[in-house]
């Protein structure tokens, strides 16, 4: 089962402020940066796949987690300083990575995940002239998301504070212009840029916006946290899963609140005010997504994103049809496990994503309550989540109540 300390350590990504030596008109935190980076990586990677190149999505997904763990451990050391340590004092950089690994060693029960983390850090220690395509895609996404943050705050800062940083970021991004998706993201008139601008609106939307809370979490950061927890729960289920199932689980989590970029975050009590309202809200969300977001997506990934966001909390697969197309089909976990655990069916553990979504909400409420910032909305929200899963209820092989109450333990 997931280690409480590990999950709460990842949650610290919501508390790490970025650009804290500049004027910021809104909170810019590490979790939001990680989310936008992976959205950008998805877009750039899909353009590369469309050109016939192979992307190692599994490596990229784990790298996004491990990079966040590194940022949480080194939150007080600015990136330029870390880079200077790496280039000028390589032996100390190796020791620094060993120290990072040791911060998490006792929190990660999954030995294979721990081994992947160790390998990731060891590879970071190796000086290399060239990087794989997947590494370049992730690095490009990292630089782009940093540039977007700077562009959003530069208007409230004196030019002298930002011009050098912006020039350096733009110069760094030039080496990635051979990536078609990257080139288009840097073109403010392109569809990919307009699409990511819509998604960025999720950074400004605060969850639980009817009550004070510490730390505050954005919808976008929440989506990345759900993606990471979905990944960990998929590993925790005790079964071998195909690569597409892991990919779908992560990106379904990342995009599960995509409609809220155009509808805003409608809180659960309002959604459930009447028996028919949840279905009505979902229908309206689908209509707005098709009218405002779909025109901004490329034809080689639009169907996949709609697959992520339609029936997002149901276990489902894609069944081939006679005309060559594929039809989504809701299935049970047993069917997913025994009959459709194959890349050919593009299986999605939607119920795992829902479990991760509820776990995230529980941590958001409980964390604030333990900080002493509480309200009726937080306590009722927490209690309502705990009531959903009865004793012994298993969600895709996970004992949900046991998992949730382990988070509640002091």
Nearest alpha carbon to residue 184 among 306, 301, 47: 47
- Main-chain phi, psi angles of 316, to 5 degrees: -155, 165
Topology alike, domains 4-201 and 219-408: yes
Helices H, strands E: what count in the chain? 20, 5
Q: Which pair of structure tokens corresponds to residue 198?
A: 């819509």
- Strand partners for 349: 315
pLDDT at 273: 55
Largest Cα separation within the chain, whole Å, is 63
Would you call 265 exposed, middle or buried from its count of C-beta atoms within 10 A (0-12, 13-18, 19+)? middle
d(CA 160, CA 113): 44
d(CA 381, CA 266): 14
- Main-chain phi, psi angles of 161, to 5 degrees: -80, -25
Say if CB 241 and CB 371 are below 8 A apart.
Answer: no
Nearest alpha carbon to residue 178 among 36, 44, 43: 44
- Main-chain phi, psi angles of 399, to 5 degrees: -75, 100
- Strand partners for 316: 330, 348
The full set of domain ranges for the chain reads 4-201, 219-408
Helix (H) or strand (E) holding 351: helix 350-371
- Main-chain phi, psi angles of 228, to 5 degrees: -65, -45
Say if CB 333 and CB 397 are below 8 A apart.
Answer: yes
CATH topology classification for 219-408? Hypothetical protein af1432 (1.10.3210)
d(CA 235, CA 44): 26
Please state whether the predicted TM-score (pTM) of the whole model is above 0.85.
Answer: yes
d(CA 297, CA 244): 21
pLDDT at 225: 98
pLDDT at 126: 76
pLDDT at 264: 63
CB atoms inside a 10 Å sphere around CB 356: 27
Which is the CATH superfamily of the domain at 4-201?
Hypothetical protein af1432 (1.10.3210.10)
Mean pLDDT by 10 residues, the chain (410 residues): 91 95 94 98 98 97 97 84 85 92 94 96 79 95 98 96 96 96 97 97 93 94 98 89 97 94 65 68 82 95 95 95 88 96 97 97 95 93 90 89 86
Tell how strand 394-395 and strand 348-349 pair up: unpaired
Say if CB 404 and CB 3 are below 8 A apart.
Answer: no
pLDDT at 282: 75
């Amino acid at each position: 089962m997931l280690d409480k300390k590990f999950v709460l350590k990842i949650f610290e990504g919501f508390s790490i402020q970025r650009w804290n030596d500049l004027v910021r008109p809104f909170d810019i935190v590490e979790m939001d940066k990680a989310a936008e980076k992976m959205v950008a990586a998805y877009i750039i990677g899909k353009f590369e796949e469309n050109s016939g190149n192979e992307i190692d999505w599994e490596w990229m997904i784990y790298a996004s987690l491990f990079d966040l763990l590194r940022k949480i451990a080194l939150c007080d050391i600015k990136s330029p300083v870390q880079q200077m340590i790496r280039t000028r004092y390589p032996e100390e950089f190796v020791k620094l990575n060993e120290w990072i690994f040791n911060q998490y060693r006792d929190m990660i029960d999954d030995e294979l995940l721990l081994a992947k983390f160790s390998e990731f850090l060891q590879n970071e220690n190796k000086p290399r002239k060239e990087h794989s395509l997947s590494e370049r895609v992730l690095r490009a996404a990292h630089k782009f998301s940093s540039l977007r943050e700077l562009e959003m705050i530069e208007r409230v800062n004196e030019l002298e504070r930002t011009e050098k940083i912006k020039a350096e970021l733009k110069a760094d991004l030039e080496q990635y212009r051979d990536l078609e998706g990257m080139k288009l993201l840097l073109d403010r008139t392109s569809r990919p840029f307009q699409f990511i601008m819509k998604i960025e609106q999720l950074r400004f939307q605060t969850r639980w916006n009817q009550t004070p809370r510490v730390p505050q979490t954005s919808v976008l950061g929440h989506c990345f946290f759900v993606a990471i927890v979905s990944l960990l729960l998929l590993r925790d289920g005790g079964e071998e899963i195909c690569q597409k199932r892991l990919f779908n689980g992560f990106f379904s989590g990342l995009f599960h609140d995509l409609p809220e970029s155009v509808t805003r975050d409608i809180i659960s009590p309002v959604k459930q005010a009447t028996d028919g309202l949840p279905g009505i809200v979902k229908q309206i969300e689908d209509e707005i997504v098709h009218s405002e977001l779909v025109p901004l997506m490329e034809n080689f990934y639009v169907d996949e994103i709609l697959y992520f966001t339609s029936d997002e909390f149901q276990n489902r697969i894609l069944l081939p049809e006679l005309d060559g197309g594929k039809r989504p089909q809701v299935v049970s976990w047993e069917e997913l496990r025994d009959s459709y655990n194959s890349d050919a069916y593009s299986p999605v553990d939607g119920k795992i994503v829902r479990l991760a979504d509820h776990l995230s909400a529980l941590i958001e409420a409980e964390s604030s309550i333990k900080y002493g910032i509480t309200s009726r909305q937080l306590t009722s929200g927490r209690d309502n989540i705990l009531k959903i899963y009865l004793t012994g209820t298993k969600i895709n092989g996970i004992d949900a109540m046991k998992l949730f109450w382990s988070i509640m333990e002091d």
